Amino acid sequence: MSASFTPSAASARPTLAVRLAGVTRRFGPVTAVDGVDLEIEEGEFFAMLGPSGSGKTTCLRLVAGFDQPTSGHIEIFGETAEGLPPYRRAVNTVFQDYALFPHMNVGENVAYGLKVRGVARADREKAAREALSLVRLEGYESRRPAQLSGGQRQRVALARALVLHPRVLLLDEPLGALDLKLREEMQVELKALQRRLGLTFVFVTHDQGEALSMADRVAVFADGRLVQVGTPEEVYERPRTRFVADFVGSSNILPADLAASLGAAAVEASLRPERIALFATPTEIPGDRLRLEATVTDVLYQGATRRVMARTDGGLDVVVSDAGHGPRPVLGTRVHLAFAAAALQPLEAA
């Protein structure tokens, strides 16, 4: 690791761990990754979020060096990645299916990368033990992968990647195979480990909740393109396009003429369900609120929240989400939907 030094003006800027400039990867007629520009800072927990087939894995494989861009440029810690094989890059990958060797025990699985690099047996066994203790699997060295639970297998895969001391860890849906409860536990553990080790994580997921809760920044992909990148708050509160508004959380999309009639810009606008309050009578509504009249069409009780579906007089179906403490709205009754002007987020045409 680098020695300590006095930060100069130049080094006050964060170090770039990974940079993609105009990266495109085509497979015959399919453009899997389409002109992606991206900068990931050292120490960031960076999530790549997008639906199936949006190019996330392809992007990760390009950074790892398992695949080459059709055009564009990739840098890892300022060094051109072109021509560098995977093992020469300061990155390592945790694959979605873990890809553990079934005939090797846990210790051998974790030490495998070091063996390939010619590290002596005693040294690699020590390093494997250390890596296993990072993921809280001390003492599991002699078990085979088949004798582990899903969450333990996931941690072995993580230890196997960490043992090589990558500066950047690429994780492709690492929690995808786990059930919800375990997945949530591992989310907390992974995040804590990333913070503790100060590593850069590039974390692929199609689960928007996972991306929002774990990442420092989220990149949203659609059809191979990067459509928005920002902090979880920015992406959720200020979705730029209809796709982002729909894919990250759920949203009501108000047509341009309705937005204009409410005094907003005459473009489509996103309005999050939890930003709308329901009122039985208009006199209760604070004066600065925008309002729409509607009829209740459905009520879904969900425990911690309640979703009320209402159709406006203009024929737009609107979803309202609240904590569900008030009386249950009755189907067919008239309600007033009220929201702050700032809750309307103007959208760009995709």
Q: Which residues bind ligand ATP (CB under 6 A)?
A: 27, 30, 32, 50, 52-58, 206
Cβ 207 to Mg ion shortest distance, Å? 12
Cβ 72 to ligand ATP shortest distance, Å? 15
Cβ 154 to ligand ATP shortest distance, Å? 17
| 54 contact choice in ligand ATP, Mg ion, none (CB below 5 to 8 Å, kind-dependent) | ligand ATP
Measured distance CA(349)–CA(72) in Å, rounded? 26
Contact 214, 203 (CB under 8 A): yes
Cβ 56 to ligand ATP shortest distance, Å? 4
| 30 contact choice in Mg ion, ligand ATP, none (CB below 5 to 8 Å, kind-dependent) | ligand ATP
φ/ψ bin of 121: left (φ > 0), alpha (ψ from -120 to 50), beta (otherwise): alpha
Cβ 145 to Mg ion shortest distance, Å? 22
Vertex 200: Cα angle to 120 and 109 (nearest 5): 35
| 329 contact choice in Mg ion, ligand ATP, none (CB below 5 to 8 Å, kind-dependent) | none
Q: Output the CA torsion sign for 16, 22, 26, 31.
A: positive
Nearer to ligand ATP, 57 or 194 (CB): 57
Which has the closest alpha carbon to 70: 24, 20, 21?
24
Nearer to ligand ATP, 31 or 231 (CB): 31
Measured distance CA(247)–CA(53) in Å, rounded? 14
Nearer to ligand ATP, 129 or 206 (CB): 206
Contact 318, 252 (CB under 8 A): yes
Nearer to ligand ATP, 53 or 86 (CB): 53
3-state SS assignment for residue 91:
strand
**Tokens at residue 230, please?**
């920002």
> If you ran DSSP here, which 8-state letter would residue 2 be given?
P
Cα–Cα distances (Å) from 112 to 64, 120, 257, 332, in that order, read 18, 11, 62, 65
Give the bridge partners for 345, in sequence order.
270
Measured distance CA(194)–CA(45) in Å, rounded? 8
Cβ 53 to ligand ATP shortest distance, Å? 4
| 58 contact choice in Mg ion, ligand ATP, none (CB below 5 to 8 Å, kind-dependent) | ligand ATP
Nearer to ligand ATP, 55 or 174 (CB): 55
Cβ 96 to ligand ATP shortest distance, Å? 7
| 92 contact choice in Mg ion, ligand ATP, none (CB below 5 to 8 Å, kind-dependent) | none
Measured distance CA(314)–CA(334) in Å, rounded? 14
Nearer to ligand ATP, 57 or 252 (CB): 57
Nearer to ligand ATP, 54 or 270 (CB): 54
Name the residue whose CB lies closest to Mg ion: 57
**Tokens at residue 303, please?**
């425990």
Which residues would be at the binding site for Mg ion (CB under 5 A)?
57
Cβ 281 to ligand ATP shortest distance, Å? 47
Measured distance CA(325)–CA(306) in Å, rounded? 9
| 346 contact choice in Mg ion, ligand ATP, none (CB below 5 to 8 Å, kind-dependent) | none
Residue type, 241: T
Nearer to Mg ion, 57 or 109 (CB): 57
